[in-house]
């Protein structure tokens, strides 16, 4: 079974750094793009960016370019979403999702369970 498992909820202060993770299993991790999606409280889905673990090629939504960083560690089949200086507006639920096909021109399936990030002073 293809599965993505995300790290647990985080509570941080503005200005702090954070890295959340997404570990894949049940498939060849390096063959499929992994995307990150934000869902702010009570709102819809927003694409953050994605990465190809095969060569660490990462692409970002213009809305998130320069605000976050996406990376992978293929030794542990894990993708990361990282902030160097959090803002209160980063408070949201963050999902990772695998592209369903070996191309970024494909839908997202499956999705991780989500990681809640709360940023508050």
Q: Which residues bind another protein (CB under 8 A)?
A: 35, 37, 44-47, 50, 59, 61-62, 95, 97, 100, 104-114
Judged by DSSP in three states, 31 sits in helix
By beta-carbon proximity to another protein, the closer residue of 27 and 111 is 111
Shortest distance in whole angstroms from residue 121 CB to another protein = 27
* CA pair distance 61, 50, nearest whole angstrom: 9
By beta-carbon proximity to another protein, the closer residue of 12 and 98 is 98
| N-to-C CA span, the chain | 40
Shortest distance in whole angstroms from residue 111 CB to another protein = 4
By beta-carbon proximity to another protein, the closer residue of 8 and 62 is 62
The residues, any chain, with a CB within 8 Å of residue 93's CB and separated by 6 or more, are: 38, 39, 40, 41, 114, 115, 116, 117
By beta-carbon proximity to another protein, the closer residue of 8 and 105 is 105
Shortest distance in whole angstroms from residue 22 CB to another protein = 12
Closest CA to 119 of 9, 5, 13: 13
Judged by DSSP in three states, 60 sits in strand
Shortest distance in whole angstroms from residue 35 CB to another protein = 7
């Amino acid at each position: 079974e293809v599965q993505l498992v995300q790290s647990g909820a985080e509570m941080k202060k503005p200005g702090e750094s954070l890295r959340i993770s997404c570990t894949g299993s049940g498939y060849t991790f390096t063959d499929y793009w992994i995307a990150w999606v934000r869902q702010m409280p009570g709102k819809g889905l927003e694409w953050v960016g994605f990465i190809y673990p095969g060569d660490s090629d990462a692409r970002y939504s213009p809305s998130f370019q320069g605000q976050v960083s996406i990376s992978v560690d293929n030794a542990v089949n894990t993708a990361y979403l990282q902030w160097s200086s959090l803002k209160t507006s980063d408070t949201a639920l963050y999902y990772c999702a695998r592209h369903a096909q070996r191309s970024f021109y494909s839908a997202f399936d499956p999705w991780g369970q989500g990681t809640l990030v709360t940023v508050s002073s």
